[in-house]
Structure 1
């Protein structure tokens, strides 16, 4: 039965690709590996191969911990960010997050699944939530849409409404590190009456200073979570800022 279902699914995929050929979202060439991204553009994507073991900050020279983590460790236990937030991945991310380009989101989620996975998988994935006003404006939670296929691929449960944003906050984009921390302080709560596992991963699309992920981690740790990892598709190179 499963073999027949897989065969029908593969046939449907081939028909779809014949009717709507894959096209690279960056250069317009033919897509490759089942994605709207060509092989050349995929090779240009900035992998985060040399980074801090604790916060995934890109480093020019490999080191166990960046200087900031040595001075003051973040509240989470480990970070996984397979890409650096740089050209051309930042172009795809901007189209997905701000341009409502869901095709770009599908490419990003597919890319994430092909990267070496986190060393230890959690028992639960929680995407960073949007406030309901921002969700109405954007139409979807970009972190949740990235998390869904990743959770399926890793066979890890995903809950989208256990962690909630109780207060609308200004966008973090133009804020410095200190203002970012103040901006999200007290913005997140857990749904009442829930029971959380020992090990949880909080997932977002891009990690810049880590202020949002740190605030979510504190909420989870106060609720009894023993290990909280942070996952992000991409880590911005922002040395000295948390």
Structure 2
């Protein structure tokens, strides 16, 4: 896939350059006193290049573009872009952001994610989507957490790429159990009928290229279920954008 034109991406990179932590901040990883939420030294140390499956973003040791599981059972999404592995130190930041009420981490994580997406656009090329959708939480889970971490990332990344983000086009109609530690088959079973497209979404998704965004991909079951839902609503292509991809399906966030 190729970029339609450079204007959205250039605008994205320009705005991303302004997404810097307030001067006089401690690095969220090493605690050094400097400018950025994650200092340059930690980025050099922990943002390692990784060859990934084009479809699900699993790390690949060889030169293949698609992993064996995606060849045997292609998911409902076409491509996945991941910024980092779900490993130290990123797993700790995600846990604080997702479960510890640290919503202030949304900005630096979105900054790192936007840079990774920009790199992917330069290196492998991809067609920018028409619509960006955060993975929704159930009403009960959102009340418990206080915010939807996927939306906190999407509402910062979407404007930079000039892609409209919509938090109310899809909804989670089933409050599924926590998926932590469950195998892929059980996750898929729990997610049957979990998502629905709202009337506004049905009007807006038909014929559109869609990116669905989440903080972490483990087995891909949640993103697969949501991708299938938006395809049934008429989406012509679906990408998955995640901040972190687990090293294996057993490394659940």
Q: How does 1:202-221 map to 2 (within 5 A)?
A: 202-221=212-231
1:29 aligned partner: 32
Query: Does structure 1 retain, via aligned residues, the 8 Å contact 2:218–2:249?
Result: no
1:223 equivalent in alignment to 2:233: yes
What TM-score comes out, normalization by structure 1 length?
0.86
Q: Give how far 1:205 is off.
A: 0.6
Query: Does structure 2 retain, via aligned residues, the 8 Å contact 1:97–1:142?
Result: yes
Q: Give how far 1:48 is off.
A: 5.4
1:191 equivalent in alignment to 2:201: no
1:143 aligned partner: 150
Q: How does 1:9-88 map to 2 (within 5 A)?
A: 17=23, 21-32=24-35, 35-47=36-48, 49-88=50-89
Q: Give how far 1:108 is off.
A: 0.8
1:152 equivalent in alignment to 2:159: yes
Q: Give how far 1:46 is off.
A: 4.1
Query: Does structure 2 retain, via aligned residues, the 8 Å contact 1:56–1:81?
Result: yes
What TM-score comes out, normalization by structure 2 length?
0.83
- List structure 1 runs of 4+ shifted beyond 4 angstroms: none
Structure 2 counterpart of 1:200, from 188, 195, 210: 210
Q: Give how far 1:220 is off.
A: 0.9
- Unaligned 5+ segments in structure 1 are 1-9
How far apart in 1 are the matches of 2:49 and 2:79?
15
1:111 aligned partner: 112
CA 1:99–1:87: 2 relative to 1, 3 Å: same
- Unaligned 5+ segments in structure 2 are 1-17
